[in-house]
Structure 1
Amino acid sequence: MGEFAGSVLLSAAQWDKEQFIRDLYEQWGIVDQGSDKSEEDDDTTVLMQVDDMRLVVSLFDFRIPDNEAELNAENNYMWPEAVEVAGAHQAHIMVAVLGEESSLLEKGKLFTKALAVCCKQEYATGVFTSGVVFEPRFYEGFAEMMKEEDRLPIYNWIWFGLYHNECGMNHHLHHVIQIKLVHLYLLHDYIK
């Protein structure tokens, strides 16, 4: 329980695996702590052991199926071009963090750092996670919060969605992480 997965949308089916590994180290000091390199069998996948967690990053040279990225891009009211950008993606980098031993908080931090590093890839156009497609610079900017006084990237983890219905303006939450200390759920909480 507590695995994390998300994607960085790409305008072309290309990525620089070595740049990803270099950026992960230069930005966050993260290196592979495992010794078995036999699991990395091609240029499309990075497998890393980071403490008790397994980081998996892989290029998929096809679009996210069933227009899922486009549908979730509709949730981003802060980025008017989100649907158009999501619709134009040609490939994606999938990022996942696995592991039973580490806390949800530590897995969430590693997940956010890896996605933010993927935003530096030349063809990165969007970040699909938490039920929304984020603009890469928005996602990267909030990930940077972790470098300052051990702050958490809450805006990368929880998306405050807005919608209209017969009762007026409403909001809902999408979240990528459920920390056992705090679990927030709002249903039909009307905005006055």
Structure 2
Amino acid sequence: MTDFSARRRIMVDTQVRPADVTKFPIIEAMLAVPREQFVPDALREAAYAGDNIELGNGRVVLEARTLAKMLDALDVRGDELVLDVGCALGYSSAVIARMAQAVVALEEDEEMASEAQDQLVNVGADNVVLQVGTLAEGAAEHGPYDAIIVQGGVGELPVALTDQLKEGGRIICLFMDEALGAVRIGYKTSAGMSWRFEFNAGAPVLPGFQKQRAFAL
């Protein structure tokens, strides 16, 4: 029988800590949340490998290093409301739930959303609200948000998401340009959005987040 708790410790010690992620809430959450419960049954043995986990249709569970570094930059606090865009089977939402006051987990694939709901209940993540809806439209009815995180590649960021940030709030995205991806964090001010580069990573671009081609005559 696989000792998944041991694999979780190895994941944190070999993928998360060496990436300069040292904030206790992130380490604690990643040690506590059973990642193997948030992937398809056939991939449970691969749940702790240091790669994105393919879910089909261009969707992935982000590798632990990428998610941890995104959360490190986002610096979620215990009194904050977070929108988790593209939560898939719910792993990221379960992790964030241990750091935030509340999480809105947004997923447009109804089958994945149903599975996510079951697993979030199983791990006791009772401060997560699962919302089924179009990823690019966000979940304005629950906002505005202190922080937003996007669980996949972004070609172009829909304005709807930054509109749902509180002033002073922040959003973190993995912007993909061909095969190269750059994680950037954006801060919302009265003057608009201010962006800062964090690190390089990669993931498929989410549906609705493709870069719009410029129209030339």
Q: Do Structure 1 and Structure 2 share a fold, with TM-score over 0.5?
A: no
TM-score by length of 2: 0.28
